[in-house]
Structure 1
Amino acid sequence: MDIIANWIWSDDSDGRGYNLCSIFRRDFRLAALPVTARLAVTADSFYRLKVNGQWLNDGPCRSWPGHCQYDVYDLDGILRAGANHIEAVVRYFGCGDFHRLPQRAGFLAQLEAADSDGNVTVIGTDTEWVAAEMPQLRRNVPKISIQQPPFECFDNSEPEAPVWRKAVLVAPAEGGPWKELKERDCRLLSRREFLFRDFVSAHRVMPAYSTVAVAPHALLFPGDTTVNTSDVLPLLIAFEIDSPRCQEVVIAREGVNVSVNGRSADGGAWHFNEGGNFVVLAPENLNGHCALYGIGFPPESGLTAEAVRDAVLVRFPKLARLAPDRPFCTLNAQFQQSVREFQPLAAGALKLPEREAFLKEFPQAEPLAAGALVDDDAHLSFVLRRAEPVQPGDVTDPEFILYPDDCCAVIRPVEGRDIELCFDLGEQNIGCWNFSLFAAAGTVVDVAAIEYKTPNGALQHTGPGCRNSMRYICREGINRYTAMQRRSGRYVYVTLRNMTAPVRFQSFRLVESTYPVVPAGSFHCSDPAMNRIYEISQRTLKLCMEDTFTDCPLYEQTLWVGDARSESLFAMSSFGAYDLVRRCIRLAGQSLDDMPMVLSQVPTGWSCIIPAWSFMWSYSVYDYWFETGDEEFLREVWPMVKKNLEGAAACVDPETGLFSAPDWNFFDWNRTDCGHRIMLYNSFFHAEALRTAAELAPVAGEPELAEGWLAQRRNLIDALNRVWDARRLAWPDSIHEDGTLSGDVSIHTSMLAALFDAAWPEHQAAVRANTVTPRSELFKVVSPFALFYLYAALEKLGLPGEILDAIGRDYRPMLEVGATTVWENISLHFNPDSDFPTRSHCHAWSAAPLYFLPRLALGIIPAGPGCRKILISPVVNRFEYASGTRPTIHGRVGVRWKKQGRELHIQVTAPAEIEVEFLPNDTTFDFEVILSRSAE
């Protein structure tokens, strides 16, 4: 569409505040029923669109401000002749996260409708639209997490009719900070009703905590939307608070140290005098990813935020700063110096026993405005819940909530307690919670979700640092609400607080929201565990497919570029999601507009490079071209490939010849020390990025570049092999800044050398041994993400059966505890002292079985660019039979094989344009192979 509409906003603010929300509406008439109608919509930062009262979807898709995208809706069957209206609720987050880089509040829409006579009506956002602030969405809330936007708290207790006024023009379509408006390059997300499988339990719980908290970034740098770890956020908060009695209080804390009357905790509790007390909060560290500094008082203490008085804020402008994460905070001398300077100031402040002494020490203290405090008690109160059994009459017919019909559960108020209900989705999912209930005004509905609980009932909370919850405050009578934020989990807890009358709870469900894919890939074999591993891997990947691939649906919902390389391979093997692969490559490559190498996660306010991720992005370009043969897209992103390698070349250390960068040098969650500029695995990844680019250069029309890149690769490989530790028969993990070799030695460098053909001949035997049968002193692989590269190395070494064995070994522990999705880490490796087997229970970087089971157990191996030829070479000594499908750009390839005595019967279905060739392997030599082929 030719966008001629304007960006608009409501007239209640300058559009640069935190967590703004407005409604926009346009009433119009059409003389005749349109035969075609398209509506383009975008916003900074979120919109929910309704046309003629029908919820169409939420948006926009994530994009960089300089490459802004709009969503397009087909309104056939929705518009009518006569009166129509478009309405959108729009939120401006006003803070940085890992999904977008907000610029200022703005909304843009353009309708184009044509009738049967060829008359075209164009309606774009302008001053004919009306706007109204939405005060029900509370602004003074914390962020969900450093990666996500503000917490959702909708206060409908005193509903007000919108006060409509003419919208205010912000900028023409291309006249503001949003440039290159283009149509969304992927489909809109699904909206499917997903009902809970079971009602699990009801409990009485303690009333909510009362919190005193601030968002340091917003206080020190209002309007800024970056989120770098090297930002320095120094401040002190001090206030008086009255205690109803002399008592010991266990204070909940996030990001701060606390003193009361100049004393810290004694045995985990702080002593409060009856009457006035002086409280000081000082940051535990100054890391820019500390989204909140705050404390919470338990309800029985009688200490409340309302009792806080004479609160003051102390800023330290000479220490506070915004800083890009090059160098990364662990390698940033200026950041470390700021920390060292602030620590004695904070320690001294915590020892001050009274307000007068504090103000004398810090005369720059200023009154803390009430609006600076954020309300953090909703999720904190769930995390610190103290559950008791319900009593007869507390809850009646809770299972009625499972179905969206007219039957209601009844929940009755209990003096001094709130009521909590737990529901089970049956498997992890993601979407928007939707509920309806009848309640008294002021009744609070807190909703929180978790992924896992132990067999003995211990809940694995996400903690205050990730507020996977929301709050809704009821109006009198019927309340219907659909959450605006997508959230994930399996077990969902609904806590009813502040009840003054019985609540009749009618229904509660999830509106599932994922990328709309179908399982084009399938797998089934004689081993039921392998079948289930494939199933939960496929479900995990689907839950981590939004408008991009994401790492996980709960904690971050972030497009991590290294994760996306693996997830792209998995998605092409199981869903054929080529459009999402292209989109992720393009979004990541656009970060090169401002950075020397591709960023670690995009689009984002965090200018963080993980060099391994930048190199994996190059592999994604190669992977996509090899899978599809799409030369047009390769030529589109080719300038990005070259720039990424130019940035890498600038990081080669002239003394050692190795890649050296002051970035977050990370590959796996293993125990090696990553806080050094030279991590050897980066040089292995760099070498492979050069090789793949050299192979692509002739296809992209620049064959002359190949030899230079191959020469750089040879130099890197020589430099790597020169630092081989002959005594330990392995590479050191790093070279320290003083030139000494690290004492840490991991399997990772050897497996990458095997995978990328990077070991000198004299080292190859040891490299193979380190990869296949590693010695005990080598740090092992601990994440399924790095396991993908280990499995690939084993395939390169000709050991496909060992990969199938490893999949069974590494993933069966997930099945043993009933996992419905695959985990971020291998059981107990990440945190061996935890009661919980992993942090994230749904992590798509772990879905490697989607790639290797079709490739090995079915033997479907693309043999050249564009999948024009497929090799069929199943590994048959681990199973009695196997069958399944694997999508290609030309259609599905299916394989079904079964042993019958000494005969191996293989049936192949494939599109006519694909050449199929059987390739014998060690497991098929003893069989008479009978292969048949049919059309798909």
Structure 2
Amino acid sequence: MPSYSIIENFEVHKNNRFLEIAEALKPELLHKEIKAEKEIMVGKDRQMRTVITEEHPIENLYAKSLKRDDTVFVDFGDHAVGYVTLELSKTGSHQDAPVYFYLKFGERLEEMTDKTADYDGWLSRGWIQEEYIHVDVLPAKVKLPRRYSFRYMELRVIDTSAKFQLKIDGISCDTVSAVDMESVKPVDFGDPLLNQIDLVSRKTLKECMQDVFEDGPKRDRRMWLGDLRLQARANYYTFKNYDLAKRCMYIFAGLLFNEGKLSACVFTEPEMEPDDTYLLDYALFFSSVLLDYYEATGDLETLRDLYDVAIDQIRIAMTQLNEKNVVEDLGDAFWCFLDWGDGLNKQAGATAVLIYCIRYGIRLTKILDKQEDISWLEEKQAMLKEAAVKEFWDEALGMFVSGPDRQASWATQIWMILARVFDKETNCKLIHHVMEVNPRIRMVTPYMYHHYIDALIRCDEKELALEEMKRYWGEMIRDGADTFWELYNPYNREESPYGSSMVNSYCHAWSCTPTYFLRKFYMDNEK
């Protein structure tokens, strides 16, 4: 189901001082050239899954002469984000016509066999990474102007002429990121799979750390507040690039819109501009992002600067309660995220997120000794917890329910646990009951699985959390992930919220948090 927002009478209220602070923190990106590693042949196995059927040294490709309808596939050996250069020449007679070829880039192997003509999703097909190129004069060095996010590349010769053939002499990529993988010391967690999960998590995060914390370098290539919260947490235990986190907070706070609301996401080009999308849960998370940053840095000046923006998001959310003192259910409108689960009702989960973020707000107010705000927030927290139990708890089911159909979902239970509506002992019983019952509305994104792992750890189920991490993120690795994906449903590996997995992101920020959990909770020097 399409999910987007268009706000009528949308107005942006810029705080130029905040935006100037953000601009001063803009990173100088690090560049590293990598070269294509192998020529590969691609086909289907008996289960109709895309596989590599042959592989050869890249020199094998460079020795070939390519004519009309020839297709070759290249493997760079690992995920890359950057700018591709092709060194081309010709064999045969003098070039008497332009060479015309097609390029396609893929983050996973399956994208090499996807048929773009079959795309029927509701997101723009412009997100599919492909190019049609004419080269009038050979030899030539063709530098592609677009940044690509990929591991695999297809080149199909559409035409040359009968008198000459195309020759490839080199393929390279100028990769870019705000950080370097070598700056983070690997940790041995005593399990090869956990070590690999940690590595892939860090690689995912690194690829998304550009001028800002992007959600995905293939798509959407912008900054979402919900993703930022998880990226920043992982960053504090790995790359420790505090300036990038600070920059992103000031960008969001410097681009408020109607009623002082925070946008769910910000476009970064040609200039910083907020999307006209408001998501209740994402806006509320600003208090969490701010406290996480303060605890990592001790930067009291930034806390003072951005405090009002954080608390205002709670005030705004409080205006969206109904007469029962829970968040008003806006149905299928794109008003709260939680997860991409099909049919997921958001009312109870949104109420739980509000309670959760009030707890962060209280901690912010105590640091700054804002006594009036402390009293108000504590009063609202108690009121909301009482209302949540009264309105959403179903004693017969032993779970929280949501919406007019009293839907029980994984997301609702997890957020109620994280909101601490019940005490820890009751929450522990609830999480085990949910695992036993396995509600039909399951989790489908690493974003929601992050909160599931968090809930298990908060219920003192660290070993179970570790096993679930290995099961979910480990299965992604077994399915070929070099970086972790935007969406991974083990029950339906090709699931997409956009109508087609061709535009799914296979390097996505919100999936990078196993490294945060592993380094925070499973190291000897645990914090």
TM-score, normalised with respect to structure 1: 0.48
Residues 634 and 181 of structure 1: CA distance in aligned 2, closer, same or farther (over 3 Å): closer
> 1:665 matched to which residue of 2?
336
- Say which SS state the counterpart of residue 155 (structure 2) adopts: strand
Whichever of the two has the greater Rg, that structure is 1
> 1:436 matched to which residue of 2?
87
Residue 574 of structure 1, CA deviation: 1.1
Out of 502, 507, 512, the residue aligned to residue 165 of structure 2 is 502
Question: Distance between the aligned counterparts of 1:504 and 1:514, measured in 2?
Answer: 31
Q: Any residues of structure 2 matched to 1:583-598 within 5 Å, and which?
A: 583-594=247-258, 596-598=260-262
Q: Does 1:850 align with 2:518?
A: no
Residues 526 and 719 of structure 1: CA distance in aligned 2, closer, same or farther (over 3 Å): same
> 1:775 matched to which residue of 2?
437
Q: Any residues of structure 2 matched to 1:680-695 within 5 Å, and which?
A: 680-695=348-363
Contact 2:356 2:418 (C-alpha < 8 Å) held by counterparts:
no
Q: Any residues of structure 2 matched to 1:110-259 within 5 Å, and which?
A: 183-201=23-41
Q: Does 1:493 align with 2:154?
A: yes
Contact 1:435 1:508 (C-alpha < 8 Å) held by counterparts:
yes
> 2:74 matched to which residue of 1?
423
- Say which SS state the counterpart of residue 109 (structure 2) adopts: coil
> 2:142 matched to which residue of 1?
481
Residue 701 of structure 1, CA deviation: 5.2
> 2:7 matched to which residue of 1?
none
Task: Describe the superposition over 1:677-700 as per-residue Cα deviations: whole angstroms up to 9, x where unpaired.
Answer: x61111111112112112111333
User: Higher mean Cα deviation, 802-811 or 694-703?
Assistant: 694-703
Out of 801, 804, 807, the residue aligned to residue 463 of structure 2 is 801
> 1:679 matched to which residue of 2?
347
> 1:453 matched to which residue of 2?
109
Task: Describe the superposition over 1:174-221 as per-residue Cα deviations: whole angstroms up to 9, x where unpaired.
Answer: xxxxx9697441312222111111011499xxxxxxxxxxxxxxxxxx
Residue 531 of structure 1, CA deviation: 0.9
Task: Describe the superposition over 1:274-297 as per-residue Cα deviations: whole angstroms up to 9, x where unpaired.
Answer: xxxxxxxxxxxxxxxxxxxxxxxx
Task: Describe the superposition over 1:690-739 as per-residue Cα deviations: whole angstroms up to 9, x where unpaired.
Answer: 121121113335332111011111111111111112222222222xxxxx
Out of 213, 222, 230, the residue aligned to residue 558 of structure 1 is 222
Task: Describe the superposition over 1:227-265 as per-residue Cα deviations: whole angstroms up to 9, x where unpaired.
Answer: xxxxxxxxxxxxxxxxxxxxxxxxxxxxxxxxxxxxxxx
- Say which SS state the counterpart of residue 127 (structure 2) adopts: coil
- Say which SS state the counterpart of residue 562 (structure 1) adopts: helix
Residue 663 of structure 1, CA deviation: 4.2
Q: Any residues of structure 2 matched to 1:855-934 within 5 Å, and which?
A: 855-862=520-527
Out of 491, 504, 513, the residue aligned to residue 176 of structure 2 is 513
Residues 471 and 575 of structure 1: CA distance in aligned 2, closer, same or farther (over 3 Å): same
> 2:129 matched to which residue of 1?
468
Contact 1:599 1:607 (C-alpha < 8 Å) held by counterparts:
yes
Residue 512 of structure 1, CA deviation: 0.5
Alignment RMSD (CA, Å): 3.3
Contact 1:201 1:421 (C-alpha < 8 Å) held by counterparts:
yes
Residues 472 and 67 of structure 1: CA distance in aligned 2, closer, same or farther (over 3 Å): farther
Out of 316, 341, 366, the residue aligned to residue 647 of structure 1 is 316
Residue 399 of structure 1, CA deviation: 3.3
Q: Does 1:627 align with 2:296?
A: yes
Q: Which amino acid aligns with 1:682?
A: A
> 1:819 matched to which residue of 2?
481
- Say which SS state the counterpart of residue 525 (structure 1) adopts: coil
Residue 571 of structure 1, CA deviation: 1.0
Consecutive unaligned residues in structure 1, runs of 5 or more? 1-63, 70-178, 204-388, 390-396, 403-407, 735-740, 863-936
Question: Distance between the aligned counterparts of 1:182 and 1:634, measured in 2?
Answer: 15
Contact 1:447 1:494 (C-alpha < 8 Å) held by counterparts:
yes
- Say which SS state the counterpart of residue 502 (structure 1) adopts: strand
Residue 612 of structure 1, CA deviation: 1.4
- Say which SS state the counterpart of residue 549 (structure 1) adopts: coil
- Say which SS state the counterpart of residue 431 (structure 1) adopts: strand
Question: Distance between the aligned counterparts of 2:501 and 2:334, measured in 1?
Answer: 31
Question: Distance between the aligned counterparts of 2:150 and 2:462, measured in 1?
Answer: 35
- Say which SS state the counterpart of residue 523 (structure 1) adopts: coil
Contact 2:385 2:421 (C-alpha < 8 Å) held by counterparts:
yes
Task: Describe the superposition over 1:28-73 as per-residue Cα deviations: whole angstroms up to 9, x where unpaired.
Answer: xxxxxxxxxxxxxxxxxxxxxxxxxxxxxxxxxxxx995689xxxx
Contact 1:730 1:750 (C-alpha < 8 Å) held by counterparts:
yes
Q: Which amino acid aligns with 2:65?
A: I
Question: Distance between the aligned counterparts of 1:708 and 1:826, measured in 2?
Answer: 40
Out of 392, 412, 420, the residue aligned to residue 749 of structure 1 is 412
Contact 1:517 1:577 (C-alpha < 8 Å) held by counterparts:
no
Task: Describe the superposition over 1:792-823 as per-residue Cα deviations: whole angstroms up to 9, x where unpaired.
Answer: 11111111111111111112212323322222
Question: Distance between the aligned counterparts of 2:491 and 2:329, measured in 1?
Answer: 29
> 1:539 matched to which residue of 2?
203
Question: Distance between the aligned counterparts of 2:427 and 2:515, measured in 1?
Answer: 30
Question: Distance between the aligned counterparts of 1:467 and 1:762, measured in 2?
Answer: 48
- Say which SS state the counterpart of residue 698 (structure 1) adopts: helix
Q: Does 1:581 align with 2:245?
A: yes
- Say which SS state the counterpart of residue 574 (structure 1) adopts: coil
- When you count strand as a share of all residues, which structure comes out higher? 1
Question: Distance between the aligned counterparts of 1:184 and 1:409, measured in 2?
Answer: 48
Consecutive unaligned residues in structure 2, runs of 5 or more? 1-11, 44-52, 120-124, 268-272
Question: Distance between the aligned counterparts of 2:79 and 2:305, measured in 1?
Answer: 37
Q: Which amino acid aligns with 2:88?
A: L
Contact 1:721 1:760 (C-alpha < 8 Å) held by counterparts:
no
> 2:6 matched to which residue of 1?
none
Question: Distance between the aligned counterparts of 1:632 and 1:67, measured in 2?
Answer: 17
- Say which SS state the counterpart of residue 810 (structure 1) adopts: helix
Residue 849 of structure 1, CA deviation: 1.5
Contact 2:32 2:175 (C-alpha < 8 Å) held by counterparts:
yes
Q: Does 1:712 align with 2:380?
A: yes
Q: Does 1:567 align with 2:221?
A: no
Task: Describe the superposition over 1:881-930 as per-residue Cα deviations: whole angstroms up to 9, x where unpaired.
Answer: xxxxxxxxxxxxxxxxxxxxxxxxxxxxxxxxxxxxxxxxxxxxxxxxxx
Contact 1:794 1:802 (C-alpha < 8 Å) held by counterparts:
yes
Q: Which amino acid aligns with 1:758?
A: V
Residues 765 and 623 of structure 1: CA distance in aligned 2, closer, same or farther (over 3 Å): closer
